[in-house]
Structure 1
């Protein structure tokens, strides 16, 4: 049985959370310290770990903070249509695996991803990006989120793992429904899972030069169900955060004078902008979760066995104890945007995301060198999500290109 929601728990929802989440995290830190009580959809209680050192401690001690969501003590509070079920309901994927089982599956995925030809990957990303620009280049205006950033990562990742090109459009739609955590999220997740399952079965019969076939042939002897679940996680993780990374970086370059000065020729600033976004506006804001293996104290809070801890990656990146001067550390890569510890985003996956994002931004700058924001920066709105931060739209104008 779960404990009742702590006093002064902050809902991870609403206009203030969506538009000015950094300010809200700062207020929560002042009120509660490095670990704050929060409420998820349907007032389900959890702890948000805001402190940089506290997040590192949680993810570095899996024997104290387990990953298996069956440990959670609040399942009695979760309604059957809860929109976060796709991300928290236990599944036989390496995301929820612990110990030796997690290491076995993570090693196989790391090796399969590490064998990806990054030159070929970048060329595919450029191809997808060029095709999207072709569709709106003659209009002189576009929405760089729905018409561009949203459409790039998954077709590239899908080709990489072996999904037929004809199925990627439906996958994109359903992946977004899943992560928007709204109506229809659970049904969308089921459709995506079925597509991936059928793709794994086809690769078992006819392997090719792709990640799925390498997983099937790996000495870890992964079962089809294991590969299906791990690829599903890979696709979800590869689409939404990468699309938001592209969109958030384009926003930075179009609204910040430091980047606008070099936008027309902009290659020198693309890598810097991508890195700064991971510090200042990381796409994965909050990540569930870890579950207390036993009663303990963390950041001055009493955590009960089975309590859910959400990793506040964005808040940790802004922790004044490690970043007393804003933007002073954006040149290094000590951010927690890809998490940390054994359940972090694999290094090979991080590099794949960077190749895709960099290619997307460079293609746009090359094709539309005078692109500029079409609305006041202060009117840009963010998509509603307790976990991710990405723009709903990024309207731009430019000289029509034929």
Structure 2
């Protein structure tokens, strides 16, 4: 596909040796790219997105904390972006950045109102019930391929298991899961179908909201509708879409990235031997080494400022480089690894727009359950292709495999 052209204005970062955040090299070895960016530019690097669109990538741990912790200087409302007039209407990344009235782009008291409703609704999820749902769904999915002796753990397991669990606790129809997965992936891949997929997700969420308004239940959507914050149907629709994407994608690729490392990296092999106590530690290490959300868009400078030695103009876009910040030598041990048990990674972001704690808890329960059940049922999992044959998704935002083919002894 030919990316639509966008002409960056004079004096923007793209004219100062900006590095493209797309293409095979970025997909296959982003960690090396972050190291090169840090060596060449420091903790804040000029980059360009598809179509030659310029931005800053924040890969310094301290700098990322500053950007996410100072909303008065780095705002969340993307309408501040000074390049909107030069961005083509069909720019494939537009669905991820266009200013829309969801909690993602609200600020100040409005963000407090919206986020409180979401956090309280998520806090109503019972961790015991969540694990019970997870075990039941994981067993059901594994039953579908256990007798074959082979499977694709992305399409047949990691993509479906978290979404089916979320459908149940959010109040969504589980039969729509394949349609939801397709829409989410199409949107995040940033291809030609991204705008239509984004609209389809909104339509699906609106169906849920209308149903729950008439027939409320013990689910997240119903609790959001009944919350004292007084969210209307459109607000719940948009915020529910945010929750679905931010809940499904990180959990899905957290699971598949952890399984990949367990199958290819001897440091994780203990988990495959049935060492349940090591799974939590392995999952935490995945967030340091191969976090599923690599980059997030973003923040927009409210005024001219400086950050990491770079001059940032009012209206500039800053992308949050979670993976780059997690690899910052300032927060690693001498051998380059994170300290054992260190949970101070940036994978859940930071500040007012950081991942709500109930959502973090739910994601950990889902990921842990998925891996424990899989390893209990299929203890001799092995990669069915050479490691170098694995293909990564063509996304600037998430780090995840297209497929994870495995083989194992057929069982019941």
Report the TM range for the smaller structure's normalisation.
over 0.9
- Of 53, 56, 62, 1:53 maps to 62
Task: Please name the residue that 1:389 is paired with.
Answer: 399
Kept in 1: contact 2:160–2:177 (CA 8 A): no
CA 370–51 in structure 1, closer or farther in 2 if over 3 Å, else same: same
Kept in 2: contact 1:44–1:77 (CA 8 A): no
Task: Please name the residue that 1:253 is paired with.
Answer: 262
**Unaligned residue ranges in structure 1 (runs of 5+):** none
TM-score normalised by L of structure 1 = 0.97
Q: Give the alignment's Cα RMSD to 1 decimal.
A: 1.3
- Deviation digits for residues 227-251 of structure 1 (CA, Å, limit 9, x no counterpart): 1111000001111111000000001
Report deviation, 1:152: 1.2
Q: How does 1:1-400 map to 2 (within 5 A)?
A: 2=9, 3-4=11-12, 5-325=14-334, 326-400=336-410
Aligned mates of 2:69, 2:241 — CA distance in 1: 25
CA 90–328 in structure 1, closer or farther in 2 if over 3 Å, else same: closer
Report deviation, 1:324: 4.3
Runs of 4+ in 1 over 6 A off after TM superposition: none
- Deviation digits for residues 300-340 of structure 1 (CA, Å, limit 9, x no counterpart): 11100000000010000010122243224242110000100
Aligned mates of 2:340, 2:155 — CA distance in 1: 28
- Deviation digits for residues 14-53 of structure 1 (CA, Å, limit 9, x no counterpart): 1111011000000000000110000011111000001000
**Unaligned residue ranges in structure 2 (runs of 5+):** 1-7
TM-score normalised by L of structure 2 = 0.95
Aligned mates of 2:223, 2:115 — CA distance in 1: 13
- Deviation digits for residues 104-142 of structure 1 (CA, Å, limit 9, x no counterpart): 111111111011011111111222211211111111111
Report deviation, 1:376: 2.3
Kept in 1: contact 2:270–2:278 (CA 8 A): no
Kept in 1: contact 2:262–2:269 (CA 8 A): yes
